[in-house]
Amino acid sequence: MRTMAEAGVTVERRFAAPRALVWALLTDTNRYDRALGFSPPRYTWRTLDGARQRVGQATQNGLAMSWTEPPYEWIEGRWLCSRRHFLSGPALEGGLEVRVDDDGDGCIARVTASGQARSWVLRAFGPLLRVHLRRMVEGYIDAVAAVVEQHAAAPTSLDQPATARAQQLLAQLDDNEVTSGGRTEVDRAELSRRAERLRSAPVDAAVVERLVDTIGGRPDEEIAQMRPFELARHWGLDRRAVLRTFLHGTRAGLVDLGWQVNCPVCRVSAQVVDTLGDVGRSVHCEACNIDYGVDFGANVEAIFRCNQAVRAVEPAVYCLASPAFRPHVLAQVRVEPGATRTIELDVADGRLHLRTLGSQRALELEDPAVPARLELRLGDDAVTGEAHGRAEPGPTTLQVTSALDQPAYLLIERGAWSTDAVLGSIVASQPEFVDLFATEAPAAGLELTIGHITLLFSDLTGSTALYERIGDARAYAVVQEHFALMERAITRHGGAVIKTMGDAVMASFVTPDQAVAAAIEAVHETEAEHRDYHVGVKLGIHEGPCLAVRANDRLDFFGTTVNLAARLQGQAGAGELVMVRDLVEHPRVAERLASAPRRALTARLKGITEALPLVGIDLRPDRPEG
């Protein structure tokens, strides 16, 4: 860890709370900078002294200033070191150090804020400035203490990163302005009017009230950008019910839907746009200095903001480098050229992603067992190393040696933790999105890649004979009843109907086991409701990549995965589901289909070069003998 300039103040405090939680609250430099009265800066990237650096600019008390901001260093739950080197303004240097150590059933935190004035005039006022700085730092620590005192009354999930647990705690407790910021004025009449619209929608009343209370009462920074799944976790409510309410809330005018494109390397936002039509084929991440193709299913996140007519809140970022924005990063440390550095860190799961900042050097550890020791080497082309032993209760020791001729920052990231992001693959399988936002689709002529999605195709068998037997009007009514039946089954198991074609249905799901569950229900319900009409349903399911496109001004999918799912359905008989053999062997799929009779077949499908090994599964509850 680098030491700060000597001019500064250190405040020490004991907390009767877990070390990791206290660390997460104290090292949220975005909240810290806001609480100390700093202005939100503007960030750009420039080449200075032959190196690409992030430059911040702000006006503070009428004085313009700019600075470079080297990457912060931290180990989750233990320490943080941040620095700013000023290019202009009254200061030369500034920074923050936080160290938190166990102390019996609590912990002791030491917070050091420091700086160095540029002019001798300001240096002469050093004692007064230190008194002022100490007062501000103590005010923030007092506010954190007030939060953690309520920790026992509002426990947080220990399987979440420390920063995520801190966010959850703040969202559950009565806020104060120091830790949670202020509130802009709410137009109560408009909030009430639009809330009534939402209450008339087919959504959970309990979720509606939580959303209305949040918009009307929580601090600005909690509603400037809302993530439905994160709020569902905070509220202890069903994720899909909360997302459904947000989608209807957009139609009611309480919230606005936007799209955030996240970098696949650093996992932080690289772009935010208002409509899906504004998302391009590729995006540039300034932090990583790379261009990458957009995967709608994996990189594009649906985000929601409070509607400006209800409450005019604008997102404000005070410190872009805050660990709070990177809950997946366990540690970020600097390693000098040719040096070896040893650190200790708390690891809950041995599946880790290790990489160097600003490069593609990376190492993937896939064993969930927590290692006692990690030995790494930073080379020109890769991060290499190995894990040793299994950790007893206690920290993992990491030793990293650099063979590079430049300083490098090593990031240790959680490999198994999934975020609360509502990704494109999820929202595209939400029926409310397909129904309420039919025109929310990629720009005309643009295809957005979806790296992984599950598609179901169904068709009604015996419908032609049905029209001849009972007449057009009655047969048409039966077909419409079948569509309603299919939609209920698809929706109940987490999918969305994308379109209907004649008697056929195309639907999307996030996972294949959801699609199989919907297929089983569809067959059972069809048998129960339409057996007397001698009609049935046949189905095909496939998963893989596809393209999201605008077709007839609506969201649609095409590609090999789409074609294969449709052609698998063509191989099925009444009451039968056909899939490729590999998908049938998927553990969760196999569990659902364990008792169903099946037949093996090989088919050469149009557009597929090789014959595929397929499996037909009879899903009918009352199967004919023989």
How far does CA 610 lie from the centroid of its chain? 38
At 385, the amino acid letter reads G
CATH code for the part of the protein at 441-618? 3.30.70.1230
CA distances from 546 to 297, 445, 504 (A): 10, 15, 20
Q: What is the largest CA-CA distance in the chain?
A: 100
What is the domain partition of the chain in residue ranges?
Answer: 8-164, 182-323, 329-414, 441-618
pLDDT attached to residue 626: 43
Distance of CA 438 to the CA centre of its chain: 24
Tens digit of each residue's pLDDT (9 = 90 or more) over 376-398 = 999 988 899 999 988 777 899 99
Q: What is the pLDDT of residues 504-520, one digit of tens each?
A: 999 999 889 999 999 99
The tens digit of pLDDT for each residue in 320-333 reads 999 999 999 999 99
pLDDT at 190 over 70: yes
State how far the Cα of 443 lies from the Cα of 277, in Å rounded to an integer. 4
Q: What percent of the chain has pLDDT over 70?
A: 92
Topology (CATH level 3) of domain 8-164 = Alpha-D-Glucose-1,6-Bisphosphate; Chain A, domain 4 (3.30.530)
Residue 541's closest CA among 559, 517, 524?
517
pLDDT in tens, 529-573: 888 888 889 999 999 888 877 676 677 888 888 888 999 999 999
Tens digit of each residue's pLDDT (9 = 90 or more) over 601-624? 887 766 666 778 899 999 998 765
CB-based contact 228:304 (threshold 8 Å): yes
At residue 324, φ and ψ (nearest 5 deg) are -60, -25
pLDDT at position 215, please?
Answer: 95
* HEC-encoded secondary structure of 446-507: CCEEEEEEEEEEEEEECHHHHHHHHCHHHHHHHHHHHHHHHHHHHHHCCCEEEEEECCEEEE
Please, are residues 592 and 513 in contact by the beta-carbon 8 Å criterion? yes
Q: Average pLDDT, stretch 1-19?
A: 75
Beta strands 51-60 and 42-48 are antiparallel
Model pLDDT, residue 583? 92
pLDDT, tens only, 421-471 = 888 888 877 877 877 776 666 666 666 777 788 999 999 988 888 888 888
Looking at per-residue pLDDT, the higher value among 172 and 539 belongs to: 539
Residue of 154, 77, 90, 152 whose CA lies nearest to 118: 90
Under 8 Å between Cβ of 270 and 262: yes
Average pLDDT in the 336-363 region?
91
- Please give, one letter per residue, the 3-state secondary structure of 177-228: HHHHCCCCCCCHHHHHHHHHHHHCCCCCHHHHHHHHHHHHHCCHHHHCCECH
Q: What is the pLDDT of residue 124?
A: 66
Q: Residue 341 and residue 265: Cα distance in Å, rounded?
A: 24
